[in-house]
């Protein structure tokens, strides 16, 4: 069907892309304190643009951390209200020397835009803003009522938005949420994500001697926190990737036979995935489960780093006083962060070797979620996507966590439509993050058509 | 007995101490490339002082790394020749926030001098230089022939001096070596160290995916190098501290019953050691061996750090592409670095989990050594020490490694006299390194008297 807004977007596409590059130049790394001012600059960039395109009541909402950005347009009487969500913060850039072009100098190569945040999530936020601009510019109105809520702490747990949503403010009243922070299952395949894993991110601190000691003088008598932390980590999973925390799997709700059957019909080549995406000697994980089951519907445990001790070049013969393991677990429907953390903490305390003191801390957490596919907004999204991409829409889950989706459900009663346009090889959270330029363009078109369909 | 040199040292002590502070202000951290110019400055500081006090042929000897400093005085016809050794390089300062005063701003507190390198080894090098100055200034000659050889790579394996010594240059011909890089067994107790552990310092690199991956998307399928490295480390030692590398203990020559009996008569309080020196909940190590046996006469294995991955504040949900464990082993008489490394490498390759690639590298190594106590220079040292300190000299070993002692023996045929004046709680290689000021003073006096006795 013809849409003046789609025509507007097509005409203005080069400008849209240049604006996105400006947003990507702001190094809004939420986890690094030195980038706090950059996070605010990114928020203000969005405020300014939302005002310019005609969104009303645009403002910064302060939190304990990085600010939220809010705006609305509520003149579509009798129509539903959408709450549009995205995040302007990005992951750190290390290891920096593996980037082919600097992470905050957006570069076009091979039909992609390379930059930290290109697809996670600034590029997707910008698609939302540009879809709204196209609709407002071409119709002088929107097809439904819109509220916009962007955050700057998604990569560090989203505490500010979680608190704000939990307070159920009147200005978040809506009928459904639109979340653009996911990906297509394969290039050209319209995809809706209807399930997310939850997570708990923890720190395990192990302390031995009161101070760093010389390993020659004290080796053989002083406890070594790194040896101890390795002993603990080695007992968290068995060699088949099965997590050994007692009770960890007890409450899992497995996927239905129908959902499993649908996953089996997806275009997925495990060998291609191993070579092209992961690039490892072999894949790992629980035997008896497919890769999609292992990454979408099974809990996992990963170690992200073990700071402390000597990490420089060369040699230092020290027995460090302490070591910290950054350990996270992904949770699936049926599991709760509270229970999973309690089980983890209790187990780690039990298996800790003698001679050391340990401290287990929860850094942040998010609930897993599963969206019913038969609601009218998922149906509208399916229709819009199939039309723009010329193919049937597939329903998938994601192994990642978008805690806000659970919060929207629990606190505001909103079902989420997770419509995102990343690709599996976009290197999010890694060097050389990219966004496919065609997906950026079709994504804007899809969002326009979805909002039109949802307001019909 | 009265010695004009001792009198000179006593009169000039305040100046000696001020000069040492100037040497300590040079941050000659040998393992950090950015401090390479500082290492040279420290070498030049020593060159300048050796020239000033009357040592001859003083010069820098270039190596692949930090330079050596050489000088001699060879006018004591018919007397033996001593090769005096020490090192001007120091350990890194991390964790820097645990220092009570800046590591390169020497500070006097509680009868100690606090600075990185205060006792390891600049303070002890300076005692040697000042003993030579006192002898030359008060007698216009030395009681024996002297060669001086200082290095700047002791903390990073000492490759430069090892190569130089292995080349057996004519200017290192001597009868014995004097090495001042050890400590007294207890305050006020004159001590000679007659045994050292050797070591191998290794890096174990584990690689999983080709790039860092998002732990949500790939957790459950991608191998995690940190988990793998923990599994490997956990299998290197059992819970009793026994190293599990096959054959690792096979060639050990245990201490004689007489040596063990002498160790049992040393003033050693295990509980005081645990609380005051180590400060840990309990001591660890092989059962059936005393703390002195475990740290002097048993091999050990320690992990110093596990660089790679995310080590910043906060959270990053990454499956790192690689992790590196810095692992060293201390070796005891009977063991050789070559065989120990081969055994370690072979075992690690065998136990590495599936899905990852590993690389085991030897960074540096040193032989263990044991000095016969009945040679004339050890006897002269015993006499000098007992006279200055008013007590019988005890013979101990050290758990640390001074590879040069083995090199002096193997390549030059020199027995070493390891006469050092540190204390067990001097925090070498750790924050708040110190040197007891009384030991600095009595150490200079002891060295003067030792050189006089050795030249008698």
B224 within 8 A of B309, measured Cβ to Cβ: no
Of the candidates A245, A243, A346, the one whose C-alpha atom is nearest the C-alpha of residue A300 is A243
- Taking 80 as the threshold, does the pLDDT of residue A346 lie above it? yes
Question: Which residues of chain B carry a pLDDT beneath 50?
Answer: none
B24 within 8 A of B115, measured Cβ to Cβ: yes
Checking DSSP bridges between strand B369-370 and strand B145-151, what pairing results, if any?
unpaired
- Taking 60 as the threshold, does the pLDDT of residue A12 lie above it? yes
Q: Do A95 and B212 touch (CB under 8 A)?
A: yes
Give me the residue from B221, B280, B357 closest to A278, CB to CB.
B221
Q: State the alpha helices, DSSP H only, in A35-185.
A: 36-53, 122-139, 159-166
Of the candidates B180, B181, B145, B147, the one whose C-alpha atom is nearest the C-alpha of residue B164 is B147
Alpha-carbon distance A42 to B138, whole Å?
73
Give the model's pLDDT for residue A120: 96
H/E run at residue A68: strand A68-73
- Taking 70 as the threshold, does the pLDDT of residue A424 lie above it? yes
Count of C-beta atoms within a 10 Å radius of residue B294: 23
pTM over 0.90: no
Give me the residue from B31, B210, B291 closest to A313, CB to CB.
B31
Phi, psi dihedral angles at B327 (to 5 degrees): -125, 130
**Which residue in A has a C-alpha nearest to residue B99's C-alpha?**
A211
Residue B281 vs residues A208, A225, A319, A324, B302: alpha-carbon distances, Å: 7, 12, 15, 18, 18
The SS3 assignment for A432 reads: coil
Phi, psi dihedral angles at A320 (to 5 degrees): -65, 150
Helix A122-139 / helix A4-11 crossing angle, nearest 10 deg: 120
Give the model's pLDDT for residue A16: 98
pLDDT in tens, A170-195: 999 999 999 999 999 999 999 999 99
Give the model's pLDDT for residue B239: 85
Average pLDDT score over chain A: 95
Residue B88 C-alpha, separation from nearest chain A C-alpha, in angstroms:
16
Dihedral sign for Cα B372, B374, B377, B383, please: positive
Alpha-carbon distance B319 to A328, whole Å?
10
H/E run at residue A70: strand A68-73
Of the candidates A38, A20, A37, the one whose C-alpha atom is nearest the C-alpha of residue A28 is A38
Chain A contacts of B284, Cβ < 8 Å? 221-224, 354-355
Q: How far apart are the first and last CA of chain A?
A: 13
**Six token digits for residue A231:** 């002993």
Residues ≥6 apart with Cβ < 8 Å to A169: none
Q: Do B212 and A326 touch (CB under 8 A)?
A: no
Q: Do A233 and B237 touch (CB under 8 A)?
A: no
Q: Do A315 and B364 touch (CB under 8 A)?
A: yes
Give the model's pLDDT for residue A139: 96
Query: With an 8 Å Cβ cutoff, is B355 touching chain A?
Result: yes
Q: Do B214 and A241 touch (CB under 8 A)?
A: no
Domain B4-196+368-454 class in CATH: alpha beta
pLDDT in tens, A206-257: 999 998 998 998 999 999 999 999 999 999 999 889 999 999 999 999 999 9
Query: With an 8 Å Cβ cutoff, is A237 touching chain B?
Result: yes
Q: Do B317 and A201 touch (CB under 8 A)?
A: yes
Give the model's pLDDT for residue B312: 86
Within 13 Å of residue B61, how many CA atoms lie on the same side as its CB? 20
Query: With an 8 Å Cβ cutoff, is A279 touching chain B?
Result: yes
A411 within 8 A of A168, measured Cβ to Cβ: yes
Give the model's pLDDT for residue B425: 87
Q: How far apart are the first and last CA of chain B?
A: 13
Q: How far is CA A367 from the centre of its chain?
A: 13
Residues ≥6 apart with Cβ < 8 Å to B206: B225, B228, B229, B232, B322, B323, B324, B325, B352, B356, B357, B358
Alpha-carbon distance B440 to B420, whole Å?
10
Under DSSP, the state recorded for B355 is T
Domain regions of chain B by residue span: 4-196+368-454, 198-252+299-366
Q: How far is CA A121 from the centre of its chain?
A: 8
Phi, psi dihedral angles at B436 (to 5 degrees): -65, 130
Give me the residue from A232, A278, A305 closest to B310, CB to CB.
A305
Question: Is ipTM > 0.90 here?
Answer: no
Chain B contacts of A219, Cβ < 8 Å? 295, 300-302, 330, 399
The angle subtended at Cα B328 by Cα B327 and Cα B329, nearest 5°, is 135
Residues ≥6 apart with Cβ < 8 Å to B78: none
Query: With an 8 Å Cβ cutoff, is A384 touching chain B?
Result: no
Torsion angle of C-alpha atoms A233, A235, A236, A237, degrees rounded to 10: 110
Give the model's pLDDT for residue A137: 98
Q: Do A220 and B300 touch (CB under 8 A)?
A: yes
- Any bridge partners for residue A85, and if so which? A149, A179
Phi, psi dihedral angles at A73 (to 5 degrees): -150, 110
**Six token digits for residue A296:** 């979408």
Alpha-carbon distance B206 to B4, whole Å?
61
Secondary-structure percent of chain B, ordered helix, strand, coil, rounded to 5: 35, 20, 40
H/E run at residue A405: helix A403-412
Give the model's pLDDT for residue A1: 55
Overall average pLDDT of the A317-328 stretch: 96
Alpha-carbon distance A57 to B241, whole Å?
65
Q: Is B163 a catalytic residue?
A: no
Residue B430 C-alpha, separation from nearest chain A C-alpha, in angstroms:
5
Give the model's pLDDT for residue A312: 86
A399 within 8 A of A273, measured Cβ to Cβ: no
Secondary-structure percent of chain A, ordered helix, strand, coil, rounded to 5: 35, 20, 40
Q: What is the CATH number of domain B198-252+299-366?
A: 3.30.70.360
B53 within 8 A of B71, measured Cβ to Cβ: no
Query: With an 8 Å Cβ cutoff, is A351 touching chain B?
Result: no
Residue B282 C-alpha, separation from nearest chain A C-alpha, in angstroms:
5
* Window 292-321 of A, Cβ < 8 Å to B: 294-295, 298, 300-320
Chain A contacts of B95, Cβ < 8 Å? 212
pLDDT in tens, A35-53: 999 999 999 999 999 999 9
Q: Do B284 and A316 touch (CB under 8 A)?
A: no
């Amino acid at each position: 069907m013809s849409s003046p807004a789609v025509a507007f977007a097509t005409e203005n596409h080069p400008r849209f892309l240049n604006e996105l590059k400006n947003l990507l130049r702001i190094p809004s790394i939420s986890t690094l304190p030195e980038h706090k001012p950059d996070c605010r600059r990114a928020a203000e960039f969005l405020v300014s643009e939302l005002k310019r395109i005609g969104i009303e009541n645009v403002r910064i909402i302060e939190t304990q951390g990085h600010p939220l950005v809010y705006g609305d347009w509520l003149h579509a009487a009798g129509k539903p209200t959408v709450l549009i969500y995205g995040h302007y913060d990005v992951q750190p850039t290390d290891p920096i020397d593996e980037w082919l072009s600097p992470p905050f100098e957006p570069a076009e190569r091979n039909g992609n835009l390379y930059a930290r945040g290109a697809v996670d999530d600034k590029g997707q936020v910008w698609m939302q803003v540009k879809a709204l601009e196209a609709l407002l510019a071409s119709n002088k109105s929107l097809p439904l009522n819109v509220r916009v809520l962007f955050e700057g702490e998604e990569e560090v747990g989203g505490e500010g938005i979680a608190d704000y949503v939990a307070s159920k403010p009147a200005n978040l009243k809506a009928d459904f949420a639109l979340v653009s922070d996911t990906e297509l299952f394969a290039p050209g395949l319209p995809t809706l994500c209807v399930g997310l894993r939850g997570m708990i991110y923890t720190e395990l601190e192990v302390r031995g001697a009161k101070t760093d000691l010389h390993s020659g003088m004290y080796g053989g008598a002083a406890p070594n926190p790194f040896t101890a932390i390795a002993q603990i980590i080695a007992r968290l999973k068995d060699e088949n990737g099965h997590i050994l925390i007692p009770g960890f799997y007890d409450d899992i709700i497995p996927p239905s036979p129908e959902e499993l059957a649908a996953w089996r019909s997806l275009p997925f080549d495990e060998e291609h995935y191993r070579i092209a995406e992961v690039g490892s000697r072999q894949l790992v994980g629980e035997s008896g489960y497919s890769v999609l089951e292992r990454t979408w519907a099974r809990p996992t445990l990963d170690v992200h780093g073990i700071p402390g001790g000597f990490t420089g070049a060369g040699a230092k013969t020290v027995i460090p006083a302490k070591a910290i393991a950054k350990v996270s677990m992904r949770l699936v429907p049926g599991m709760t962060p509270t229970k999973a953390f309690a089980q983890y903490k209790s187990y780690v305390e039990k298996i800790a070797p003698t001679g050391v003191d340990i401290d287990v801390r929860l850094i942040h957490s998010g609930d897993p979620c599963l969206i019913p596919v038969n609601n009218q907004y998922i149906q509208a999204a399916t229709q819009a996507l199939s039309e723009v991409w010329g193919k049937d829409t597939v329903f998938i889950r994601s192994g990642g966590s978008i805690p806000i989706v659970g919060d929207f459900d629990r606190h505001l009663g909103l079902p989420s439509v997770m419509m995102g346009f990343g690709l599996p090889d976009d290197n999010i959270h890694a060097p050389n993050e990219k966004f496919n330029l065609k997906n950026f363009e079709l994504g804007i078109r899809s969002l326009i058509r979805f909002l039109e369909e949802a307001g019909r």
